[in-house]
Amino acid sequence: MAFRPEDITVRMGLYAEYSSIILKRLTKSMISGFESIFTIDEATRNAYFRDKGIAIAKRGQYDRAVPLLEPLYKSVPDDAEVMLYLGLGYMKTGRTAEGIALLEKVHGRNKSDAKIASVLAFSYIQLEQYDKALPLLEEAVKISPDSFNLKFRLGVTYDNLGDFDKAIQAFKEALELRPDEAKVHRAIGFAYEQKDDHKSAMNHFKRANELEGS
C-alpha cells in the first residue's frame, strides 16, 4: 500500500485525542502503571477510527475511508453506519460484489432505515438491476416524500422497466421539488417519446435546452 502523508495526520490525531484522555485520567489519579497510560485501549481506537473513517467517506474520499473502516467492521461487525459507509466505499472503489453483499446485509437488519434502503437502491441502479431497486425506492419515497433524488431515481427505474406512465409521474413529482432541473425535463421528454407523444416530448426537450443554455 502506498504511503500517504494524510495517514500520518490521521494517526497523530488519534494519539492527540488519546493524550487528552490520559491527562484526564492522571488528574483523577486513575493511573495504575506505565502500560495503562501508553496503551491505547480498543474502545478508544475504534471510536476514533469510526468517526474518522465515516467523515472521510462523507467527503467522497472512499479510497482513504475503506482501509480505516475495514478493520473496524471486523472488530465491531454490528455497527450499521460502519457497514453502510464501508459498503458504499466498496461500491465506489470497484469492489461491487463485496459492496452489494454488505449493503444487503445491513439493509436486512435495518428494514425501516430509508437512508440504507436508498444507498442499496442506488447501488442496484448502478448495476442496472432495476427490478431490485424498485421496491426499495418506492418504500423510501414514502418515508422521505420531499427527496428530489429519490423521486428522480424512481422515475429512472420505472423508465428502465418500461413503465413510462409511472416514470413520467415520478419525474413530474421531482420537478415539483426542482422546477428548473434540465435533466428531469429531458428524462420526461424521452419517456413521452416512448409513448409516441411527440408533442409533449418536444415541449420538455425545448425546456431542457433553454435551461441548459441559460
Measured between alpha carbons, how far is 180 from 31 in angstroms, rounded to an integer? 62
In a domain, 204, yes or no: no
161 neighbors 155 (Cβ within 8 angstroms): no
Q: What is the pLDDT of residue 43?
A: 81
In a domain, 162, yes or no: no
DSSP string, 167-206: HHHHHHHHHHH-TT-HHHHHHHHHHHHHTT-HHHHHHHHH
In a domain, 10, yes or no: yes
Q: What is the pLDDT of residue 147?
A: 94
Q: What is the pLDDT of residue 17?
A: 58
Measured between alpha carbons, how far is 172 from 75 in angstroms, rounded to an integer? 46
128 neighbors 136 (Cβ within 8 angstroms): no
In a domain, 49, yes or no: yes
Domain of residue 86: give its range.
Answer: 1-110
DSSP string, 26-46: HHTT---SHHHHHSPPHHHHH
In a domain, 133, yes or no: no
Measured between alpha carbons, how far is 187 from 179 in angstroms, rounded to an integer? 13
214 residues of the chain, pLDDT tens digit each: 454 555 555 555 655 555 555 445 544 443 344 344 445 577 888 888 899 999 999 999 999 999 999 999 999 999 999 999 999 999 999 999 999 999 999 999 998 898 999 999 999 999 999 999 999 999 999 989 999 999 999 999 999 999 999 999 999 999 999 999 999 999 999 999 999 999 999 999 999 999 998 5
User: What's the CATH code of the domain at 45?
Assistant: 1.25.40.10
In a domain, 178, yes or no: no
Structural domains in the chain (count): 1
In a domain, 188, yes or no: no
Q: What is the pLDDT of residue 12?
A: 55
Q: What is the pLDDT of residue 110?
A: 94
139 neighbors 106 (Cβ within 8 angstroms): no
Reported pTM: 0.75
Q: Residues of 116-137 as b/e, b for ≥16 C-beta within 10 angstroms?
A: bbbbbbbbbbeeeebebbbebb
How far from each other are the two terminal CA atoms of the chain, in whole angstroms? 46
In a domain, 12, yes or no: yes
Q: What is the pLDDT of residue 11?
A: 57
